[in-house]
Homo-oligomer: A and B are copies of this chain.
Amino acid sequence: MIAVLKQGTSQEQIEHLTSWLETQGIGVHICEGHFQTIVGLLGDTSRVDEELLSGLDMVESVKRISEPFKSANRKFHPDDSIIEIPAPDGTCVKVGGGNFVAIAGPCSVESEAQILEVARAVKASGANLLRGGAFKPRTSPYDFQGLKADGIALLLEAKKETGLPIVTEIMSADHLPLFEEVDVIQVGARNMQNFELLKELGKTRKPILLKRGLANTMKEFLMSAEYIMAGGNENIILCERGVRTFETYTRNTLDLAAVPMLHELTHLPIIVDPSHATGISRLVRPMACAAAACNADGIMIEVHNDPKKALCDGPQSLTPAQFDDVMKAVLRVREAVL
């Protein structure tokens, strides 16, 4: 971290700053230039409050050189993290470190028949986790909000029936008791910076599927993971699901370069959700293949037994047959890039 001091900062002020930083265990190196004095901060600067530092009136600007995230940082944890999700049969679904996960299921759980039919179909095609929305974040209060507790019950039934561990989204820490038997808890894009929720999830040891916010940088994404990890829960799977831009043909702009970039920055696994990113079912196959081609640790795809009747997100869902075709292509691509 570097602090550029304003012209005319006195020696005394500099010493005051230096001692204040040293009390925080930060080493200091001063470079005095003709036009400006630069203070280099050495050591673990992730705990230095950047806004506080730039608030000091002797400071012109502050620039971070090392990242503000620590537990999530690959520099301090070179090996890939592998997240293990116990399956009913005693085995484990592994994500990361070369283990590819395929998560599939309907946007919303609608009925027993629907979720069972989809669960059996996606399992047959090679999915190893079942997704389904029970609590639905909808932009309009008048749109379908999900079956809530009943939806979770139906997912657990499908889990019992197929042996697939389940993934479903949480919208409030108050609902945590309902997630007792849920295998992976999803945090949606709109809650990526719901810090109180992240802190509560940090107290659990459940695997968390953390989706990137619609307009959040990779740094903020990792800082949100850091919130959960700071609480002691290191079981985090990151999910790129598209960011918001000016483009309107696709719902969001899928930032696939974030996959290799995040692999550099962090040891956590990164999966991709092409369904929500594009909002168009015809684009799911090519973007799922592209995700596999840039080494994503998995994909999450919406599959519906009858998309035209889906209670939400119909336009982006695949039929079981289409999903089967996508899975075959994705596995071939993984072979190709090894």
Chain A contacts to B: CB under 8 angstroms: 2, 4, 27, 29-36, 38, 40, 42-43, 46-47, 49, 51-52, 54-57, 61, 63, 65-66, 68, 137-144, 171-174, 190-191, 193-197, 199, 214-215, 217-220, 223, 226-227, 230, 243-250, 253-261, 264-265, 274, 277-278, 280, 282-283, 286-287, 289-295, 307-315, 317, 329, 332-333, 335-337
A30 surroundings in chain B (CB, below 8 A) = 31
Chain B residues whose C-beta falls within 8 Å of the C-beta of A254 in the assembled complex: 255-257
B249 touches A217 (CB 8 A): yes
- CB neighbours (8 Å) of A227 from chain B are 141
Contact B332 A55 (CB under 8 A): no
Nearest CB in chain B: distance from A168 CB, A: 15
The residues of B that contact A214 with a CB separation of less than 8 Å are: 215
**CB neighbours of A265 from chain B (8 A):** 249
- List of B residues within 8 angstroms of A194 by Cβ: 171, 190-191, 194
Which 10 A/B pairs are nearest by Cβ-Cβ distance?
A: A55-B314, A215-B215, A293-B293, A286-B294, A332-B336, A172-B196, A290-B290, A289-B293, A190-B193, A57-B308
Pick the contact of A257: B31, B52, B226, B287 (CB < 8 A).
Answer: B287
Task: Please name all residues of chain B whose beta carbon is closer than 8 Å to the beta carbon of A63 when the two chains form the complex.
Answer: 2, 63, 65
Chain B residues lying within 8 Å of A141, measured Cβ to Cβ, are: 195, 199, 223, 226-227, 230
Q: How far is the CB of A308 from chain B (nearest CB, A)?
A: 4
Distance in Å: Cβ of A188 to nearest Cβ of chain B: 9
- Bound-state CA distance A197–B190 (Å) is 12
Minimum CB–CB distance from A236 to chain B (whole Å) comes to 13
> Chain B residue with minimal CB distance to A196?
B172
Give, as a whole number of angstroms, the nearest-CB distance from A296 to chain B.
9
Which listed residue (B54, B193, B287, B294) contacts A260, Cβ 8 A?
B287
- A247 and B220 CA atoms in complex are apart in Å by 10
Q: Which of B27, B142, B249 contacts A261 (CB 8 A)?
A: B249
Contact A286 B282 (CB under 8 A): no
Q: How far is the CB of A24 from chain B (nearest CB, A)?
A: 11
Q: Which residues of B contact A283 (CB under 8 A)?
A: 257, 260-261
26 interchain pairs, CB-CB under 8 A: A2-B63, A35-B66, A38-B40, A49-B144, A49-B311, A51-B314, A54-B315, A137-B195, A138-B195, A141-B195, A142-B230, A171-B194, A171-B195, A190-B193, A217-B247, A218-B249, A243-B253, A247-B258, A253-B255, A254-B257, A257-B287, A260-B282, A287-B294, A289-B294, A289-B337, A293-B333
